[in-house]
Structure 1
Amino acid sequence: MKAGKRARFEELYWRHHRELAAFIRRRVPPDAVEDVLAEVFVVAWRRLSDIPVEARAWLYGVARNVIRNTYRAEARQRALHVRIAEEAGSAPAHTDGFDDAIASRTDLGRAWNQLSETEQEVIALVAWDGLSNAESAQVLGVTTSAFAVRLFRARRRLLHLLERSTGGAR
């Protein structure tokens, strides 16, 4: 084993493992996070020479593929719905009234659940994972402009669903 290869791998691991674990944690059951994370780094080790200098989006793409290969879409969908339900139940940072805050979180959860899995993923990559449009496009294997269109449409649909559920009032 070359020292340079090992050093590059260790640098990748220490630089990205926490945010990658958070990315995975939002998509799989808690007991599967470490297994998926380990598999991602096995792939990274095997394909170290293929990893671009800016490795974050590449690693997210590998994680996404590992998740898709390991778990059926139904299981991933269930885990995401559980996460949304937990987020919807947490206390709001600032509201005019407690009842309004609960109603708005419930409306958001309902609207989120009406989005397709693809629409949820596009929004989650930007909103939860903090990826740029270019990084998100790389994760999904599409062009940046194609991702921007998908994100625009998903956000517009979520807004439409929210407005419909609140009767147009915000």
Structure 2
Amino acid sequence: MSTDDSFAAAYREHYWAVSRFVARRLDAGEAHEVEEVVADVFSIAWRRRAELPAAPLPWLYAVARNCLANTVRGLGRRRRLLHRLGHHETANGRQTVDSPDAERPGSWVHEALARLSPADQEALRLTSWEELGIEELAVALECSSGAAAMRLHRARRRLRAEIDRMQMHVRAGRAGDDRD
């Protein structure tokens, strides 16, 4: 199979997986950016089509992570500018949930995840949302399998600790309500 054919097959097979990968990492207000980032990913994949591995999805995720980093930096600069100009609602589009007993059950998990470092968040998202195994995670994170396994282990431990902290905070708040 030629490199052009390999690229075409990777594009057909993985376009939607890469689109979902990107969409899950951008805020809802930035949905218009998804197509831009995905276009960048496949543009890079086209230029580097001779390097496409036999199983290209983890490699495409690595490219997408780098494209997303560039986009997020640009969006951050835009938010800071809007904030300075006084458009606070636009600049602060993300909404968080206060506690595990909030209206939307499960949304507090997203807040616990958001409290982790970007590296921990990415390791957890790649294995949970993108369903990558350790070997694929290593390709996407551009590290060894051992390093990927250790990063995932530590990220899971930190997430558990953050969830426990949030639950203790809620329990302490309820105990204070009982005394009133």
- Which TM-score band (shorter chain)? 0.7 to 0.9
Map of 1:148 onto structure 2:
149
* 1:74 CA displacement: 7.1
Moved more, 106-115 or 126-135: 106-115
Aligned-partner Cα distance in 2 for 1:106–1:124: 15
Q: TM-score of the superposition, structure 1-length normalised?
A: 0.75
Residues 12-36 of structure 1, C-alpha deviations (whole Å, 9 max, x = no match): 1101101011001112321111111
Alignment of 1:4-153 (within 5 A): 4-28=2-26, 29-72=30-73, 75=76, 82=94, 85=96, 102=103, 105=106, 107-153=108-154
Change (3 A) 1:52 1:39: same
What per-residue deviation string (whole Å, max 9, x for no partner) do you get for residues 46-65 of structure 1? Answer: 11111111111111111111
- Residues 107 and 166 in structure 1, CA contact (< 8 A), matched pair in contact too: no
Matched with 1:94 is: none
TM-align CA RMSD: 3.0
Larger Rg: 1 or 2? Answer: 2
Equivalent pair of 2:138/2:144 in contact (CA under 8 Å): yes
TM-score (norm 2): 0.71
- Aligned counterparts of 1:146 and 1:73: Cα–Cα separation in 2: 29
Distance in 2 separating the partners of 1:21 and 1:100: 32
Gaps of 5+ in 1: 89-98
User: In the comparison of the two structures, how many residue pairs are matched?
Assistant: 151
Comparing 37-46 with 14-23, greater Cα deviation is found at 37-46
Q: CA 1:70 to 1:163, structure 2 compared with 1: closer, same or farther past 3 Å?
A: closer
Counterpart residue type for residue 41 of structure 1: F
- Extract structure 1 runs of 4+ deviating beyond 6 A: none
The answer for unaligned runs of 5 or more in structure 2 is 80-92, 171-180
In structure 2, distance between residues paired with 1:24 and 1:168? 32
Percentage of pairs with the same residue: 35
CA distance in 2, matches of 1:126, 1:37: 20
User: Matched residues in 2 for 1:157 and 1:66: separation?
Assistant: 26
